[in-house]
Amino acid sequence: MVDTRFPVSVHIMTGLAYNRPNLVSSEQLAISIKTNPSFIRKLIVSLSAAGLVESVRGKSGGLRLAKNPKDITLDQIYKAVTESSLMAVPTKAPNKNCAISCGMGDILCKISDEIQENTLKQLAKRSLKDVLDQLK
């Protein structure tokens, strides 16, 4: 199954940046993203916990960025909403009678770690402002 939390979160954050300084509701974001507002709210909880989004309560409340878009990098967004690595590594015990089976776990873990590290490095080079600038 493909994990959509990161791209949807980038969409949320871009929507908040685009509408600055106005507050935006989770319902407005859900309409833009074409998804359920409850999914948006779950992501907002994680983004808020990471200090990227602020929630204003009350009748005229809504959501806004907690920082300037140039100070928010895509790796911060990724780390806020993603719990697992990009590549799943087998967790079964190896077949002790097979050299391939015995070595594959370590090999795939190293590859997975490298992919994750390189991905985060690339995301750290891009800010939310960079994404916003591509829209204009």
What residues does each domain of the chain span? 5-135
Task: Kindly indicate whether the domain formed by 5-135 is annotated with CATH number 1.10.3720.10.
Answer: no
pLDDT in tens, 101-128: 999 888 998 998 999 999 999 999 999 9
Q: In this predicted structure, what is the pLDDT of residue 70?
A: 97
Structure tokens at 36: 């359920």
Which of 4-35 are b and which e, b meaning 16 or more Cβ less than 10 Å from the residue's Cβ? ebbebbbbbbbbbbebeeebbebebbbebbeb
pTM score: 0.86
- What is the pLDDT confidence band of residue 38, given thresholds at 50, 70 and 90? very high
pLDDT in tens, 49-93: 999 999 999 888 899 999 999 999 999 999 999 987 777 777 788
How far, in Å, CA of 134 to CA of 34, rounded?
21
d(CA 89, CA 105): 7
Residues 6 or more apart whose Cβ sits within 8 Å of residue 50: 76, 79, 80
